[in-house]
Amino acid sequence: MGEIKTSSLGYPRIGENREWKKALEGYWAGKLTKDELNHQLTELRLSFLKKQQDAGLDLIPVNDFTYYDHILDLSTMFNLIPKRFEQTSGDELDTYYAMARGNKEAQACEMTKWFNTNYHYIVPEMENKKPTLTENKPLKAYLEAKEKLGIEGKPVIVGPFTFLKLAKGYEPEEFAQLLDNFTPVYIELLQELAEAGVKWVQLDEPSLVTTLSSDEIRLITSVYNKIRTAVPSLKIILQTYFDAVSDYKEVITLPVDAIGLDFVHGYEENLSLLKEFGFPDDKILAAGIIDGRNIWKEDLQKTNDKLEQITAVVPVERLFIQPSSSLLHVPVTLVHEKELDSLVLSALAFADEKLEELSTIKKLILANSEQKQKLLDENKKIFDKISQSTWRSSYQKNEQQLLAKRTTPVTERQKIQQQKFDLPLLPTTTIGSFPQTKEVRRARNQWRKGQLNQADYEAFVNEQIKKWIDIQENLDLDVLVHGEFERNDMVEFFGEKLGGFVFTKNGWVQSYGSRCVKPPVIFGDVHFKEEMTVAETVYAQSLTKKPVKGMLTGPVTILNWSFERSDISRQEVANQIAEALIKEVEALEAAGIEMIQVDEPAIREGLPLKERDWEYYLNWAVEAFRISTSTVKDTTQIHTHMCYSDFRTIIQSISDLDADVISIETSRSAGELISTFESNVYDKGIGLGVYDIHSPRIPSVEEISIVINRALEVLPKELFWVNPDCGLKTRGEKETVAALENMVTAAKASREKL
Ligand code: GLN
Ligand code: ZN
């Protein structure tokens, strides 16, 4: 069947210098014409292909490129355009962008997280239950690569099962029928590819790593049988990623030519399945052995061991080697990282470097034993240096700290704290940040560039704090905050002050649409270096008699929103962060701050894809939070905050955090969430967000009252707080004050009736 091939599942879209983002935003702002946009994006797309060709990649993905999101591409290709977009000009591209971003007439389609990554896709809406193929984008991409660059591309398409699983607008009972409706559409698409001479196509079915029912397995088998019968000659790679495949025995017998498995995330399990049940002789194993989601160079010794294990079952001739997932999740290239410490640099591999690694690994496989040893030795030198560096050998576990728990039960603490703070019923507060106005951002940028000195910058921040403490006093809020004006981002801010983090210059990854994020890199042992929030908080507290909440980002959120180390477990990293944070908590407490909020908006999103792994994750996540908050006095009130998420399944864990008060984002689905907290599991203070901060609309007193009263029907009045549903940093000043004014009025009115 020929020699071993290298393959890749997808390449980042954003460009080395985020040219893609700039082109999209230029078009939206009317600065680029449609022709200019098309021209720029075509150039970019071809340059990406060229790079992969030059890197010697054997199977180069096409159709991984998009004008916004690859799932939205499929929705429009399949004519799944919701009716509300029908007025949109008739121009296809404008309709496409209206679905992504909304317009005057129609609300945008929902956007949600792509499995357990930080990429967000546009949720398909199944208003039209009879999809048709209106355009064959994968075919165009294939022909373009072939004509322009002589590349025999491998079209990448999300498969029918996963696509429909990700869609909404249908009842579970309709799933089978809908999948049936999609089958001929996929067949038509694939037949056209086969006729054009496509050799390999990759159908992504990441849903196969989630927990599946036996009915679903039956449906998948039936779809793929139909596809095989209708398109016998096209070679299909059925691609899974992000975890071990759930029903291995069934999946490997599906009538396809190659099966793609993730041997990074889910390695142990995929390997043991491979060993236990073998692998069919007539199929290729597309083995994801390079981490497609993290930024570290591969330890070739480990890769080599992996390959030995894998090739003991599947011979080298029937192997593709590839990244574990699309490279969409990692930054593009290291070439612009001129300011990074050379040791750090030597440990990293972004997308382009990962492609180089693939050829190195191919060499490793084909090498004789002497050459092999040489490659391994060279790589080992780098890893030895890294692991022996002070970055990674300074951490001393503090066993005492790790065992810390608040000993006084929450019900006792509530009494003690009520006595101390003497807050009214339904105390009002906010989540932490106040508007990050142009002025605030400008001052921070000037300070970063050295145009504003430290003292002037601090004075500026203090001015903002003072201004907003006055506003909060005037509004008569009960618990105040300093406003987070010194922070650009809730994770980056702490990363810059803690030890163990590094920051790249250009390490951007796409989050959704044109929005990119540059996650901090946890390179070494995380440790506390200096007080991070004490000065601003103490200053704010000095201006008022009301309690000011200290404001920190929690260990799990810092971990989930960073590129984390892979040489130690996530749990260990979380504990290191927690141990650093408790020092800050203690410093705040020692400085007289008596309420401290530790935000964990990312706890829910870190939940593993397979239900059976939830408990383990939740246990260590809860433990990390407790480490970061548990040595405080009984009178110190610990708050936490989480953004909107489905809490039903994790309510016990949220309770186990043992925070005295939690505030959550609920205004968009109040009913559902309130009923979650109704179950008597939760006996702590709870602030249900009473209005949606994502919209500039000012909520009326009446509508806020409705939310409060509904909550009071199910929650004990002593436990209930009143607050907006998230931080206010994206809002304008005027609307913020007006909304909070209505919130306080509504709270006071309800309070009087209690
Ligand atoms: N304290 C943060 C803020 O108010 C919380 C942000 C969040 O939940 N994402 O901005
Ligand atoms: Zn939030």
What mean pLDDT is predicted for residues 53-80? 98
Residues 187 and 48 in one domain: yes
Computed on alpha carbons and rounded to an integer, the radius of gyration of the chain in Å comes to 27
SS3 track for 343-400: HHHHHECCHHHHHHHHHHHHHHHHCCHHHHHHHHHHHHHHHHHHHHCHHHCCCCCCHH
pLDDT over 80 (residue 547): yes
- Ligand 2 centre from 644 Cα, in Å? 7
Output the residue whose Cα is nearest ligand 1's atom 9. Answer: 601
Ligand 1 atom with minimal separation from the 665 CA: 8
Is 89 domain-assigned?
Answer: no
Beta bridge partners of 97: none
What pLDDT digit, counting tens, does each position of 690-704 carry?
998 888 889 999 999
Q: Which residues are annotated as a binding site for L-homocysteine?
A: 431-433, 484, 599
- Ligand 2 centre from 630 Cα, in Å? 22
Mean pLDDT, all residues of the chain: 94
Residues 373 and 452 in one domain: no
Is 90 domain-assigned?
Answer: no
Is 149 domain-assigned?
Answer: yes
Where residue 687 sits, what CATH number does that domain have? 3.20.20.210
Residues 433 and 384 in one domain: no
Boundaries of domain holding 568: 427-488+534-696+716-730
Residues 351 and 463 in one domain: no
Is 97 domain-assigned?
Answer: no
> Residue with structure tokens 């990050």?
436
Q: How much is the pLDDT for 660? A: 97
SS3 305: helix
ipTM for the assembly: 0.99
Angle at 73 between CA 71 and CA 75, to 5 degrees: 75
Mutate to test the pocket of ligand 1, among 436, 468, 484, 730 (most ligand atoms within 8 A of CB): 484
Residues 312 and 435 in one domain: no
Q: How much is the pLDDT for 714? A: 81
What mean pLDDT is predicted for residues 572-591? 97
Is 412 domain-assigned?
Answer: no
At position 14, the amino acid (one-letter code) is I
- Ligand 1 centre from 610 Cα, in Å? 28
Output the residue whose Cα is nearest ligand 1's atom 6. Answer: 727
pLDDT band at 579 (very low <50, low <70, confident <90, very high): very high
pLDDT over 70 (residue 670): no
pLDDT over 80 (residue 680): no
What pLDDT digit, counting tens, does each position of 11-48 carry?
999 999 999 999 999 999 999 999 999 999 999 999 99
Residues 442 and 377 in one domain: no
Cβ contacts of 662 within 8 Å, gap of 6 or more: 639, 640, 641, 642, 654, 684, 685, 686, 687
What pLDDT digit, counting tens, does each position of 597-621 carry?
999 999 988 899 998 999 999 999 9
Q: How much is the pLDDT for 673? A: 63
Ligand 1 atom with minimal separation from the 643 CA: 8
What pLDDT digit, counting tens, does each position of 282-327 carry?
999 999 999 999 999 999 999 999 999 999 999 999 999 999 999 9
Residues 373 and 454 in one domain: no
Higher model confidence: residue 674 or residue 115?
Answer: 115
Q: Does the annotation mark 694 as catalytic?
A: yes
CA atoms within 13 A on the CB side of 21: 16
Cβ distance 318 to 354 under 8 Å? no
What pLDDT digit, counting tens, does each position of 397-437 carry?
777 766 778 999 999 999 999 999 999 999 999 999 999 99
- Ligand 2 centre from 446 Cα, in Å? 28
Output the residue whose Cα is nearest ligand 1's atom 4. Answer: 727
Residues 432 and 380 in one domain: no
Q: Which residues are annotated as a binding site for L-methionine?
A: 431-433, 484, 599
Ligand 1 atom with minimal separation from the 432 CA: 4
Cβ distance 167 to 124 under 8 Å? yes
Is 168 domain-assigned?
Answer: yes
What mean pLDDT is predicted for residues 169-189? 97
| Ligand in closest contact with the CA of 436 | 1
d(CA 291, CA 117): 13
Mutate to test the pocket of ligand 1, among 641, 663, 723 (most ligand atoms within 8 A of CB): 641
Q: How much is the pLDDT for 1? A: 43
Number of domains in the chain: 2
Beta bridge partners of 7: 59
Cβ distance 16 to 504 under 8 Å? no
Percent with pLDDT over 90 in the chain:
87
Torsion of CA 723, 728, 731, 732, to 10 degrees: 90
Q: How much is the pLDDT for 697? A: 87
| Ligand in closest contact with the CA of 431 | 1
Residues 73 and 147 in one domain: yes
At position 447, the amino acid (one-letter code) is W
Residues 364 and 252 in one domain: yes
The one catalytic residue in 39, 482, 527, 694 is 694
Q: How much is the pLDDT for 605? A: 86
Mutate to test the pocket of ligand 1, among 726, 730, 736, 740 (most ligand atoms within 8 A of CB): 726
Residues 623 and 674 in one domain: yes
What pLDDT digit, counting tens, does each position of 448-490 carry?
999 999 999 999 999 999 999 999 999 999 999 999 999 989 9
Percent with pLDDT over 70 in the chain:
97
Ligand 1 atom with minimal separation from the 642 CA: 8
Ligand 1 atom with minimal separation from the 601 CA: 8
pLDDT over 60 (residue 668): no
- Ligand 2 centre from 70 Cα, in Å? 28
Residues 588 and 636 in one domain: yes
What pLDDT digit, counting tens, does each position of 136-178 carry?
999 999 999 999 999 999 999 999 999 999 999 999 999 999 9
pLDDT over 80 (residue 669): no
pLDDT band at 679 (very low <50, low <70, confident <90, very high): low
- Ligand 2 centre from 727 Cα, in Å? 6
Output the residue whose Cα is nearest ligand 1's atom 5. Answer: 727
Strand order from edge to edge, sheet including 595-599: 549-553, 595-599, 637-642, 661-664, 685-689, 720-723
Residues in the ligand 1 pocket, defined by CB under 6 Å? 431-433, 484, 490, 551, 599, 601, 641, 643, 726-727, 729
Output the residue whose Cα is nearest ligand 1's atom 1. Answer: 432
